[in-house]
Amino acid sequence: MNLILLKGGRVIDPANAIDGQYDVLVRDGEIAAVERAGVLMNLPEVTVIDLSGYWIVPGLIDPHVHLRDPGFPEKETIPTGLRAAAAGGFTTVAAMANTSPVNDNPATTRYMLDRAREAHSARLVPVSAVTQGLRGVEPVDFAAMLEAGARLFSDDGIPIDDAMVLSRALDETKRLGYAVSLHEEDRALSCNGAVNAGAVSKQLGVSGYTDSAESQRVRRDLALAIGSGAAVHVAHVSTAESLELIRAARRHGAHVTCEVTPHHFTLDESAAMIWGTNAKMNPPLRSHGDVEDLHAAIRDGIIDMIASDHAPHDPASKRMPRLGAYFGPGHPVPQLDHESAEEFAHAANGVVGLETSLGLALQLVYRALIQPARLVEMMSLNPAALLRLEAGTLAEGAIADITVIDPNLEWTVEPEKFLSKSRNTPFAGMRLKGRAVLTIVVGEIVYDGRKA
């Protein structure tokens, strides 16, 4: 019998309305007891871990990551991605389907799960494609994908343009009891925009991506969701109008959840003037006003969860050869000539996020936008519900997936120390307060950063 006593920490478990000084006993990979500090005394053959001053929370869950495996080992692999996840405090991550081959068949799903088991790190939940090859035409075999281990469906990165295809997918996923996560983009309106349409796009001389490209597709898809009664999830919401549409759809009975990324609630479009392609993503960073609206929606509970949208890229995918690889503070992006603007537009979208997500999210707590329990809801309990997992809680008998956070640890984002294979981040050099220091999966310590 393997006994571990996590002693003296502040336990935050919103699923059970717990927030206070408790000790947590783990037995053979399960939560055996959560008791007031000092009650669990004189236990034989127990390993005691003193966590005074730390937070003990249900294992964090990221509902939206790209691990690039199979297919893109120069960017990330399942082992490196899961180690990065554990270092960021995540016990479970949902890996999107835009791999090569696409995760649209049970064999690829099984490959991903086998690789994850070999890693002995954070847990992987495969996200199945909605359509074969992400082409938006022929649906996957939804039941077969669930049987293989998928727990969410998404063509993320590519919108499902055909409303009839999406409508049929929603009918089937409703029947099976699972959700569809939607990348909301009307490509006729986004027009391959490189950054948010506005002053920054004009100053850089690159094409702009309008707010309406997101919100108009949100409008269409939520109407389909209301009509079908299916569960839908809006990925990486970024605009004020999208938030209003989500509010309205809920009033009309839609089963809709949504997520926000740390880069969208931390940075605005001006970051592209400093970080160049390392601040290029889809949807793009929006206006300062949109960022403020995201903060209000986080505070008011409109946004259900925080997702990293971890999108690792090798340097060549982000490089602009005419101007050098990267930019940074003190080296602002100049106005681009035509050829450089073309290079910017064709650079890959996305930033890494697994190792910075929690630290950035904790700034919402320190700015008094949300309480710690709300943070745990957004980063554990609610993602567990989306993925239909029996997780997000420290209840007796639950699997012992636990994240330990040092809320006072001040640290600097140093990409060269990331466990991810990629370094594409606009947060290099940023000082943050709060970090995961211990990550436990099924009662096993998979990351220990207390001495780091």
Q: Residue 68: which of 17, 117, 124, 118 has the closest Cα?
A: 124
Burial (CB count <10 Å: 0-12, 13-18, 19+), residue 90: buried
Amino acid at 189: L
Structure tokens at 122: 């954070």
329: Cβ contacts below 8 Å, ≥ 6 apart:
274, 429
Distance CA 317, CA 340 (A): 14
Distance CA 424, CA 264 (A): 15
Distance CA 354, CA 449 (A): 15
User: Can 156 be counted among the known catalytic residues?
Assistant: no
Query: Buried b / exposed e across 229-249, counting CB within 10 Å, b at 16+?
Result: ebbbbbbbbbbbbbbebbeeb
Choice among 211, 309, 314, 406 that is catalytic: 309
Helices (H), 122-162: 142-148
Query: Buried b / exposed e across 31-50, counting CB within 10 Å, b at 16+?
Result: bbbbeeeeebeeeeebeebe
Looking at the DSSP bridge assignments, the partners of residue 259 are 305
Catalytic residue numbers, as ranges: 309
